[in-house]
Amino acid sequence: MSKDISIPKHVAVIMDGNGRWAQSRCLPRVEGHRKGVEALERVVEAAAQRGVKTLTVFAFSSENWRRPAAEVTALMKLFALGLERWRKPLSEAGVRLRVIGDRTGFSSALNETIDAAEAATAAGSKMTLVIAANYGGRWDMLQAAQAAAAEGELTMEGVEKRLCAAELGEVDLLVRTGGERRISNFLLWQAAYAEFYFTDTLWPDFDGEAFDDALAWYVGRERRFGMTSEQLRKAG
């Protein structure tokens, strides 16, 4: 698929199904997360190649702390290892990395690893990879509203510009793998007008071809932003 006007600028992904992928093979859930990292690497490459400008992935929700401690620890370890491993290839590929979420929940070592990865890739202009970690859409809206109120700008625009990574714009296409059809407190504000693509494919099985299927589906959608089809046709 070539770079095209119909390519969504901002794609968000809920990478679901790692646990089921592992359990169906009698493997520990962590093995599914490990395979999930490989799937993420494939999709980052595909998204950058297709001309997506921002790819935001849900790596760890504010609710994921409720999982068994060993799984939480393993996820944190994979996150830190990934950040270290991706620094060089991402900067070489022109991909800027950003981490969004409540970073007060992370160890100082992990925060340093995040800072280092963001700094090493800061010059990337081809695509921004946003990793949402200890992120929740309600938390994001609340922190933005609190900051806006504190600075005397409690308006729609005032809140919007204080959301995490506000400068990266609204989500055009939200993909959820793993068969569930819900938003799970992901980018609640930013996805207000997103097109939602759901697939039963489990995240570890997701690849560039599956990503292209989502893009092809998106091309067929008519985004009306509250207007009628006729208004859109007239506007050209």
User: How would you class 15 by CB atoms within 10 Å of its CB: exposed for 0-12, middle for 13-18, buried for 19 or more?
Assistant: buried
Tokens of 181: 């059809």
Count, residues near ligand FPP per rule CB under 6 A: 19
> How far from 212 is each of 7, 44, 208, CA to CA, in Å?
10, 12, 6
* 151 marked as binding residue: no
* 185 marked as binding residue: no
The Cα–Cα gap between 152 and 235 comes to 36
* 195 marked as binding residue: yes
The answer to whether the CB of 61 falls within 8 A of the CB of 135 is yes
- Residue whose beta carbon is closest to ligand FPP: 19
Q: How far is the CB of 208 from ligand FPP (least distance, A)?
A: 16
Is residue 40 part of the contact set for ligand FPP (CB under 6 A)?
Answer: yes
Is residue 113 part of the contact set for ligand FPP (CB under 6 A)?
Answer: no
Is residue 74 part of the contact set for ligand FPP (CB under 6 A)?
Answer: no
Is residue 19 part of the contact set for ligand FPP (CB under 6 A)?
Answer: yes
Site for ligand FPP in 137-176 (CB under 6 A): none
122 - beta bridge partners? none
Q: How far is the CB of 200 from ligand FPP (least distance, A)?
A: 12
Applying CB under 6 A, the span of 10-18, 102-110, 111-119, 135-143 interacting with ligand FPP comes to 10-18
The Cα–Cα gap between 114 and 105 comes to 13
Is residue 184 part of the contact set for ligand FPP (CB under 6 A)?
Answer: no
Question: For the chain, how far is it from start to end, CA to CA, in angstroms?
Answer: 24
* 34 marked as binding residue: no
Residue with Cβ nearer ligand FPP (83 or 168): 83
Q: How far is the CB of 8 from ligand FPP (least distance, A)?
A: 20
Q: Which of 79, 106, 135, 198 binds ligand FPP (CB under 6 A)?
A: 79
Identify the active-site residue in 4, 16, 205, 212. Answer: 16
The answer to whether the CB of 60 falls within 8 A of the CB of 52 is no
- Residue 64 annotated as catalytic: yes
- Residue 16 annotated as catalytic: yes
Q: How far is the CB of 229 from ligand FPP (least distance, A)?
A: 36
Residue with Cβ nearer ligand FPP (145 or 185): 185
Chain positions contacting ligand FPP, by CB under 6 A: 15-20, 33, 36-37, 40, 59, 64, 75, 78-79, 82, 131, 178, 203
Active-site amino acid positions: 16, 64
